[in-house]
């Protein structure tokens, strides 16, 4: 599985949750006799003036039962926080009166279907894969390719025991709601759907094509990703998700640069701006976004350090 498909679990809350049709539940914290002594995938940031503090936690938007209870370093930070900040809160969007209008952002509403927007051979390969799962591409005919790709990934995730209701952000949203804790959205569901639906046909095709080509390696890479996350091994985590994709043509590399700017660079800047805004409130904010936004040359951690903040991995 190449970086594009893997990173959907690290950067977009809505894809992992809404298309999984999950039921959210809270996983109770249990005491851990010997907590891990190493680092976790979380950083502490203090305001330059005043008492404001952030705990930056990188999320993976799906998970398994055996991820819980989380390391006490993480849960203690949450317990000491005043506010939970997340990319968006998708846990109730399906009950919103405008849910169908939101979904239309990633669907074809002009009378065309996915068959009209992707090459015939890709259409047939996608249908063949879905047929193996007892489905048909016709069931997804109104979805744009990037959403079709995520539905395919979700089919495999379910087989492997992963679920979005066990994802890190959903876990803390549920806990915060149970405790009456303030929850703020850094982005919004509408923003994420607008972005996904707004990608060009060329980028949509590239994403679906790469998903089909990489699905056989996805399980092992996903397991590696979780192991690095649990160990707080940032270096190995970055090596995994930022590996070069040698299968891209020169044209696809150009498309990927456009995709990467919208998916990462622009959003990371916004997220860093919001982090600074929360630091100025004087409150302690537990700040949870996809792990892909935390790391790398344009990640939130580096952006805040470049702005003069001391960002310490816990």
Q: Cα separation of 90 and 61, whole Å?
A: 11
Report the mean per-residue pLDDT for the chain: 87
Q: Token pair for residue 192?
A: 């994420």
- The answer to whether residue 49 is domain-embedded is yes
Question: What's the pLDDT score for residue 122?
Answer: 98
CB atoms within 10 A of CB 101: 11
**pLDDT band with cut points at 50, 70 and 90 for residue 7:** low
Does 293 map to a domain?
yes
- Looking at residue 287, its pLDDT comes to 98
114 within some domain: no
Residue 2 has pLDDT above 60, yes or no: no
Which tokens belong to 50?
A: 């005043």
> Which of 57-66, 244-253, 275-284 holds the top average pLDDT?
275-284
Q: How far is it, in rounded angstroms, from Cα 278 to Cα 227?
A: 30
Tokens 């700040």 appear where?
Answer: 287
Residue pair 294/64 in contact (Cβ under 8 Å)? The answer is no
Q: Report pLDDT for 33.
A: 34
CA 168 to chain centre: 10
Report the pLDDT value the prediction gives residue 92, as an integer from 0 to 100: 82
The pLDDT, as a whole number, for residue 78 is 98
Q: What is the mean pLDDT of residues 69-80?
A: 96
Whole domain around residue 186: which residue ranges?
A: 3-108+146-313
Percent of the chain with pLDDT over 90: 67
Confidence (pLDDT) at 148: 94
Query: What values do phi and psi take at 168, rounded to 5?
Result: -60, -50
Confidence of residue 14 (pLDDT cuts 50, 70, 90): low
Percent of the chain with pLDDT over 70: 88
Does residue 197 lie within any of the structural domains? yes
Residue 192 located in a structural domain: yes
- pTM of the entire structure? 0.88
Q: Which residue has the higher pLDDT, 153 or 35?
A: 153
Report the number of distinct structural domains present in the chain. 1
Residues 6+ apart with CB under 8 A from 70: 29, 168, 171
Q: How confident is the model at residue 296 (pLDDT cuts 50, 70, 90)?
A: very high
Residue 34: its pLDDT value, please? Answer: 38
User: How distant is the alpha carbon of residue 11 from its chain centre?
Assistant: 3
**Is 116 inside any structural domain?**
no
Q: pLDDT digit string (tens) for 26-49?
A: 333 333 333 334 489 999 999 999
Closest CA to 156 of 192, 121, 129, 127: 129
* pLDDT at residue 197, as a whole number: 94
Please check whether residue 124 lies inside any domain of the structure.
no
Whether 219 shows a pLDDT value over 60: the answer reads yes
307 or 65, greater pLDDT: 307
Q: What is the 3-state secondary structure (H, E, C) of the chain?
A: CCHHHHHHHHHCHHHHHHCCCCCCCCCCCCCCCCCCCCCCCEEEEECCCCCCEEEEEEECCCECHHHCCCCHHHHHHHHCCCEEEECCCCCCHHHCCCHHHHHHHHECCCCCCHHHCCCHHHHHHHHHHHHHCCCCHHHHCCECHHHHHHHHHHHHHHHCCCEHHHCHHHHHHHHHHHHCCEEEECCCHHHHHHHHHHCCHHHHHHHHHHHHHHHHHHHHHHHHHHHHHHHCCHHHHHHHHCCCCCCCCHHHHHHHHHHHHHHHHHHHHHHHHHHHHHHCCCCEEEEEEEHHHHCCCCCHHHHHHHCCCCEEEC
pLDDT band at residue 91 using 50, 70 and 90 as cut-offs: confident
Mean pLDDT, to the nearest integer, of 110-132? Answer: 97
Is 212 domain-assigned?
yes
Q: Is the pLDDT of residue 164 over 90?
A: no
Q: How high is the pLDDT of residue 242?
A: 83
Span 42-69, average pLDDT: 94
Place of tokens 């991995």: 313
Task: Kindly indicate the confidence band of residue 176, based on its pLDDT and cuts at 50, 70 and 90.
Answer: very high
- Summarize the confidence of residues 134-143 as an average pLDDT: 96
């Amino acid at each position: 599985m190449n970086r594009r498909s893997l990173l959907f679990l690290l950067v977009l809350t809505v894809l992992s949750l809404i298309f999984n049709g999950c039921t959210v539940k809270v996983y109770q914290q249990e005491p851990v006799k010997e907590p891990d002594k190493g680092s976790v995938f979380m950083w502490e940031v203090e305001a330059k003036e005043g008492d404001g503090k952030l705990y930056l936690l990188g999320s993976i938007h799906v998970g398994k039962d055996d991820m819980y209870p989380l390391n006490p370093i993480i849960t203690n930070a949450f317990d000491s926080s005043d506010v939970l900040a997340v990319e968006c809160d998708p846990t109730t969007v399906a009950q919103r009166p405008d849910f169908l209008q939101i979904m239309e952002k990633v669907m074809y509403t002009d009378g065309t279907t996915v068959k009209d927007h992707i090459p015939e051979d890709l259409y047939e390969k996608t249908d063949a894969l879905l047929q193996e799962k007892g489905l048909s591409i016709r069931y997804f005919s109104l979805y744009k390719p990037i959403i079709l790709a995520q539905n395919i990934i979700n089919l495999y995730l379910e087989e492997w025991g992963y679920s979005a209701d066990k994802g890190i952000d959903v876990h803390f949203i549920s806990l915060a709601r149970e405790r009456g804790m303030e929850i703020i959205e850094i982005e919004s569901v509408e923003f994420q759907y607008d972005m996904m639906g707004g990608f060009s046909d060329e980028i949509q095709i590239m994403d679906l094509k790469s998903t089909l080509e990489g699905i056989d390696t996805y399980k092992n890479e996903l397991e590696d990703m979780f192991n690095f996350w649990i160990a707080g091994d940032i270096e190995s985590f970055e090596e995994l998700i930022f590996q070069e994709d040698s299968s891209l043509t020169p044209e696809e590399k150009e498309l990927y640069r456009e995709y990467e700017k919208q998916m990462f660079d622009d959003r990371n800047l916004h997220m860093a701006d919001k982090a600074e805004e929360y630091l100025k409130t004087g409150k302690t904010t537990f700040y949870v976004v996809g792990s892909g936004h935390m790391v790398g040359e344009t990640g939130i951690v580096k952006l805040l350090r470049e702005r003069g903040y001391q960002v310490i991995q816990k």
